[in-house]
């Protein structure tokens, strides 16, 4: 029976080639997008899931509640790990991991440097490898990192350093020009979907601050993982945690501190905390993609249902005849479902080809180095089969019900019309839903693109163009050579200005601290972002002073520049009043006097409001960067010369630089990705919806040929007939716009609310989306209805 059904199905599909094509085109594109989205979401959810203990692993993170806000921190105080190991009973293991990095040198037998490279490295406690079962190729993880000055390497690093990883163990490396590390183990490379991309693991015992006692100094580089004992529940740690907090946090800070236990699976997904891989994909983004995927599938299914029910009318005679011949309803349903599944299956084949073609583009869009593959994981084919069955039954069931339910007498007499053929109202509702989805996506796309343009073009209060941010070492020896470096770079033609500083005006990582203003008895009730720089900072970045002047050259005078926001928060009446007042930080008894007030500038991405800022005059250890402002004429040439100068000043170190503008663009990576996705998917949904519309108008036009002929001989013009056919579609699309607007408004307003600096939501995106949807509808529909209105009346009216 199935074989016969299949044969008939294939014949029927062939007979209605046009509609089969429309169905397969719409479905396959929709399915391809869904597969892509599934592969991506599946990949994002696969982060850190390769470990045997994954459900018992948690990261300890920090949290502070302030009067006017809160802070989330992925790091913990350095004494926390040993304290937890001591105080918590339900923990099987506790392990600290500390980010570090610097110059590694490999010397040959004669003591000559064979390889010099800057690498990221981690100080890791041996317990870490009990929590995470990394595959070790050589050495014993528990013994390998027990002693200070031992190191374990990934296969890739061992090969890079020594040519052949098998020979690495026993050899030595020089780190930061001082420590000599002995290689004691080699482990398998960590996969890309990992939040701890460890390539070099140095024994934690050798970490210089490993015995640090301060609970008030927290850096995102100091993280801590715990492994829960089998059978215990993370909620049971709340009680011991309270006691723990009271025991160790004895002095009062300006915020109320807390620690949370973050499940391993969320390390990659919670954008509030960073991680060592610097990659998080927020749940919001994944949910957004999921919604788009569902939208796509719905749109494709709606096409299918609409075309199938419309087509049902033209097949009513066949159905009537079959029924008279004794076919039962169930058998008819089986036949129609076979047809649907056949179409869906063909669509899947096409979808696989489309997916394969689009995968490199997607990997590129998300800047993931791995290659996504259709069959890289068994769950993907399973998903595809599930999707075929889902689409086949969801899209096929309703039309099958309608068609198999026709009254045979009416059906044989061809009395079933598109109106009473069933699904007339449903079809309209579905078209409205489909277009509402389309309009929501168009509106969303327009708003995202507008917000991105706004962020690109908004004046930031400083000029980030043609500024190179060159890393400088900040050990005491290197600091001595700062002036030499500065003056040599400045002499370079094409360099306009240089400044040594801790960070540029806008920076993703900032250092917050508390302070007192004008000898006040207690600290200000907010923290300020603290930057340090020399006297050329304002000039180099084009920052504007609204009062006072920039730093003097005299290193002995302690000076500070503040921004407008800081004064506003302190309720200082005018910037002039602040000049000469003293700011004291970190219990400094003397303090620095305010010499200037700088006009507000955006100090980080535009999601955040401007922070209160203190710029200290200093070229000490907090300096990390030499900012070089250049003429735009020959930037690559100038950069090459700067690198040469740098290398001659710091032969022991490794040069690295970025451009300020690139650093700023990086803030909006997720907007860039979302913008592209919305553009692509909105395009796809528009395509699917309109191809469906075209199919539908074709059926309607065919169905109404006779009526149009009658109207023609009653005196209707072609234009009137075209309008008649079009109007019902135009009304549906108009209705879809009305339905879509409030939904789109809620989505968009929610999305925009993440930005401190955002565009005002005007009616234009809505109007534009309406014009686009109505315009394309009019074009699609008119194309077909014009043809229908032009057909010869005589042919249609011939007596049947």
Partner 1 sequence: MIQLQNIEKYYANKGVKSYILRHVSTTIQQGEFVSIMGPSGAGKSTLLNILGMLEEPTYGTYEFMGENVVSLNERKRIELYRNHIGFVFQAYHLIDEMTVAENIEAPLLYKKVGSAERKSRVAEMLDRFNMVAKRDLFPNQLSGGQQQLVGIARALAAQPLIILADEPTGNLQSAQALQIMELFRKLNEEENITIIQVTHSEINAGYGNRILHLLDGVISEDLQVVV
Q: Where on the chain is the footprint of partner 1 (CB under 8 A)?
A: 415, 417, 419, 706-707, 709-718, 720, 792-794, 797, 799-800
Q: Which is nearer to partner 1, 14 or 799 (CB)?
A: 799
Closer to partner 1 by CB, 428 or 706: give it: 706
How far is Cα 683 from Cα 445, in angstroms, rounded to an integer?
A: 10
Q: Which one, 400 or 709, has the nearer CB to partner 1?
A: 709
Whether 183 and 169 have beta carbons less than 8 Å apart is answered as: yes
Note whether 262 and 272 are within 8 A (CB): no
Identify which of residues 186 and 721 has a Cβ nearer to partner 1 in the complex: 721
529 forms beta bridges with 512, 613
CB atoms within 10 A of CB 662: 10
Q: In whole angstroms, give the CA distance from residue 565 to residue 598.
A: 10
Q: What angle do CA 9, 10, 14 make, to 5 degrees?
A: 115
Q: Decide whether 375 or 799 has the Cβ nearer to partner 1.
A: 799
Nearest to 551 by CA among 560, 542, 563, 543: 560
Q: Least CB distance from residue 790 to partner 1, whole Å?
A: 10
Nearer to partner 1, 421 or 444 (CB): 421
Nearer to partner 1, 75 or 421 (CB): 421
Contact of 518 with 562, CB cutoff 8 Å? no
Nearer to partner 1, 414 or 520 (CB): 414
Instruction: Using the minimum distance from each CB to partner 1, give the nearer residue, 656 or 720.
Output: 720
Nearer to partner 1, 614 or 721 (CB): 721
CB of 417 to partner 1, least distance (A): 6
Query: Per the structure block, which two tokens stand in for 486?
Result: 């500065």
Closest distance to partner 1 from the beta carbon of 294 (Å): 35
Q: Which two tokens stand for residue 313?
A: 């009318």
Shortest gap between Cβ of 454 and partner 1 (angstroms)?
51
Helix pair angle (718-752, 764-790), 10° resolution: 160
Phi, psi angles (nearest 5°) of residue 349: -60, -45
Shortest reach from residue 793's CB to partner 1, in Å: 6
> Would you give the end-to-end CA distance of the chain in angstroms?
36
Which are the contacts of 406, defined by CB distance < 8 A and separation ≥ 6? Answer: 312, 316, 319, 320, 323, 416, 421, 422
Contacts of 248 (CB under 8 A, 6+ apart): 79, 80, 83, 215
Residues with Cβ within 8 Å of 302's Cβ and at least 6 positions away in sequence, in order, are 430, 431, 433, 434, 692
Cβ-count burial of 337 within 10 angstroms (0-12 exposed, 13-18 middle, 19+ buried)?
buried
- Nearest distance, CB of residue 791 and partner 1, angstroms: 12
| Residue 718: CB minimum distance to partner 1, A | 7
- Cα–Cα dist 259/88, whole Å: 14
Nearer CB in complex with partner 1: 205/797? 797
Shortest Cβ 404–partner 1 spacing (Å):
23
**Closer residue to partner 1 (CB): 217 or 414:** 414
Query: DSSP readout, 28-47?
Result: HHHHHHHHHHHHHHHHHHTT
Tell me the residue ranges of DSSP E strands in 538-687. 545-548, 559-563, 582-585, 592-598, 613-617, 625-630, 657-659
Which CB sits closer to partner 1, 167 or 417? Answer: 417
In angstroms, rounded to a whole number, what is the distance separating the alpha carbons of residues 195 and 44?
Answer: 11
Across 179-287, the runs of DSSP E, i.e. the strands, are 179-187, 200-203, 222-228, 256-263
CB of 717 to partner 1, least distance (A): 5
Q: How far apart are CA 775 and CA 733, in angstroms?
A: 10
Nearer to partner 1, 124 or 709 (CB): 709
- Residue placing its CB nearer to partner 1 in the complex, 415 or 428: 415
Closer to partner 1 by CB, 443 or 726: give it. 726
Q: In angstroms, what is the minimal distance from the CB of 728 to partner 1?
A: 12
Task: Give one word for 194, left, alpha or beta, with left for phi > 0 and alpha for psi -120 to 50.
Answer: beta
Burial letters 402-435, b for 16+ CB under 10 A, else e: bbbebebeebbeeebebeebbbeeebbebbbbbb
Q: Least Å distance between CB 721 and partner 1?
A: 10
Residue 350 or 797 with smaller CB distance to partner 1: 797
27-to-21, 451, 677 alpha-carbon distances in Å: 10, 32, 19
Specify the residue, 365 or 793, whose C-beta has the smaller distance to partner 1.
793
Burial of 232 (0-12, 13-18, 19+ CB in 10 A): middle
Least distance between partner 1 and beta carbon 716 (Å): 5
Which H helix or E strand runs over 126?
Answer: none
Q: Tell me the closest approach of the beta carbon of residue 419 to partner 1, in angstroms.
A: 6
Q: Minimum distance between the CB of residue 398 and partner 1, rounded to whole angstroms?
A: 23
Least distance from C-beta 420 to partner 1, angstroms? 9
Rounded to the nearest 5°, which phi and psi values hold at 469?
-105, 100
Smallest distance from partner 1 to CB 787, Å: 15
| Distance of closest approach, residue 408 Cβ to partner 1, in angstroms | 17
Q: What is d(CA 712, CA 700) in angstroms, rounded to the nearest whole number? A: 17
Q: Tell me which residue of 614, 592, 781, 603 sits closest to 698, measured CA to CA.
A: 781
Burial of 623 (0-12, 13-18, 19+ CB in 10 A): buried
Smallest distance from partner 1 to CB 794, Å: 5
């Amino acid at each position: 029976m199935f074989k016969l059904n299949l044969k008939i199905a294939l014949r029927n599909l062939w007979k209605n080639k046009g509609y089969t094509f429309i169905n397969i085109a719409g479905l396959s594109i929709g399915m391809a997008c869904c597969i892509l989205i599934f592969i991506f979401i599946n990949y994002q959810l696969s982060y850190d899931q390769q470990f045997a203990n994954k459900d018992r692993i948690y990261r300890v993170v920090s949290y502070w509640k302030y009067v006017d806000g809160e802070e989330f921190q992925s790091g913990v105080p350095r004494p926390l790990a040993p304290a937890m190991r001591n105080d918590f009973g339900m923990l099987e293991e506790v392990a600290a991991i500390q980010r570090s990095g610097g110059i590694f040198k490999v010397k040959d037998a004669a003591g000559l440097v064979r390889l010099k490279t800057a690498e990221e490295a981690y100080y890791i406690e041996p317990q870490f490898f009990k929590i995470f079962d990394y595959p070790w190729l050589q050495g014993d993880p528990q013994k390998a990192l027990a002693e200070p000055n031992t190191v374990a390497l990934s296969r890739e690093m061992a090969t890079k350093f020594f040519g052949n990883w098998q020979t690495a163990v026993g050899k030595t490396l020089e780190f930061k020009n001082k420590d000599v590390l002995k290689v004691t183990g080699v482990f398998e490379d960590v996969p890309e979907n990992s939040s701890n991309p460890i390539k070099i693991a140095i024994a934690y015992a050798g970490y210089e601050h490993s015995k640090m006692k301060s609970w008030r100094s927290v850096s995102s580089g100091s993280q801590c993982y715990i492994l829960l004992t089998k059978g215990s529940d993370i909620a049971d740690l709340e009680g011991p945690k309270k006691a723990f907090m009271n025991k160790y946090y004895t002095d009062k800070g300006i915020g109320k501190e807390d620690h949370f236990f973050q499940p391993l699976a969320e390390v990659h997904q919670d954008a509030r905390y960073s991680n060592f891989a610097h990659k998080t994909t927020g749940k919001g983004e994944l949910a957004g993609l999921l919604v788009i995927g569902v939208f796509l599938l719905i749109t494709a299914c709606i096409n299918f249902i609409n075309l199938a029910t419309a087509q049902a009318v033209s097949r009513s005679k066949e159905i009537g005849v079959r029924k008279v011949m004794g076919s039962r309803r169930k058998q008819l349903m089986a036949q129609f479902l076979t047809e649907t599944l056949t179409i869906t299956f063909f669509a899947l084949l096409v979808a696989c080809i489309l997916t394969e073609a689009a995968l490199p583009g997607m990997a590129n869009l998300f800047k993931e180095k791995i290659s996504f593959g259709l069959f890289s994981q068994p769950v993907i084919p399973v998903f595809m089969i599930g999707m075929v069955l889902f689409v086949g039954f969801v899209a096929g069931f309703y039309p099958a019900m309608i068609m198999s339910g026709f009254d045979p007498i009416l059906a044989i007499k061809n009395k079933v019309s598109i109106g009473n053929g069933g699904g007339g109202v449903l079809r309209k509702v579905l078209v409205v839903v489909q277009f509402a989805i389309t309009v929501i996506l168009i509106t969303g796309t327009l708003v995202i693109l507008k917000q991105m343009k706004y962020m690109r073009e908004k004046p930031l209060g400083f000029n980030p163009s043609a500024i190179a941010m060159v890393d400088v070492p900040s050990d005491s020896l290197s600091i001595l050579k700062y002036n030499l470096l500065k003056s040599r770079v400045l002499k370079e033609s094409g360099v306009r200005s240089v400044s040594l500083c801790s960070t540029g005006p806008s920076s993703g990582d900032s250092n917050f601290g508390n302070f007192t203003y004008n000898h006040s008895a207690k600290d200000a009730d907010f923290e300020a972002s603290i930057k340090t720089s020399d006297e050329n900072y304002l000039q180099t970045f084009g920052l504007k002073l609204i009062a006072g002047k920039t730093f003097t050259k005299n290193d002995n005078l302690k000076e500070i520049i503040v921004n407008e926001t800081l004064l506003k928060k302190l309720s200082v009446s005018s910037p002039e009043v602040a000049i000469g007042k003293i700011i004291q930080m970190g219990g400094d008894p003397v303090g620095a006097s305010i010499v200037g007030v700088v006009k507000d500038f955006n100090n980080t991405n535009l999601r955040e409001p401007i922070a209160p800022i203190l710029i200290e005059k200093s070229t000490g250890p907090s300096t990390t960067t030499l900012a070089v402002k250049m003429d735009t004429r020959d930037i690559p040439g100038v950069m090459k010369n700067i690198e040469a100068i740098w290398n001659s000043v710091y032969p022991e170190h490794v040069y690295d630089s970025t451009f300020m503008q690139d650093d700023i663009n990086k803030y909006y990576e997720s907007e860039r990705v979302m913008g592209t996705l919305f553009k692509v998917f909105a395009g796809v949904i528009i395509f699917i919806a309109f191809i469906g519309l075209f199919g539908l108008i074709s059926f309607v036009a065919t169905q109404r040929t006779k009526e149009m002929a009658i109207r023609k001989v009653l005196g209707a013009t072609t234009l009137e007939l075209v309008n008649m056919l079009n109007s019902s579609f135009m009304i549906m699309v108009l209705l879809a716009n009305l339905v879509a607007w409030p939904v789109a408004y809620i989505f968009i307003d929610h999305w925009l609310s993440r930005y401190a600096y955002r565009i005002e939501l005007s009616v234009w995106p809505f109007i534009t989306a309406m014009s686009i949807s109505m315009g394309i509808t009019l074009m699609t529909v008119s194309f077909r209805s014009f043809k229908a209105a032009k057909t010869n009346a005589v042919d249609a009216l011939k007596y049947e």
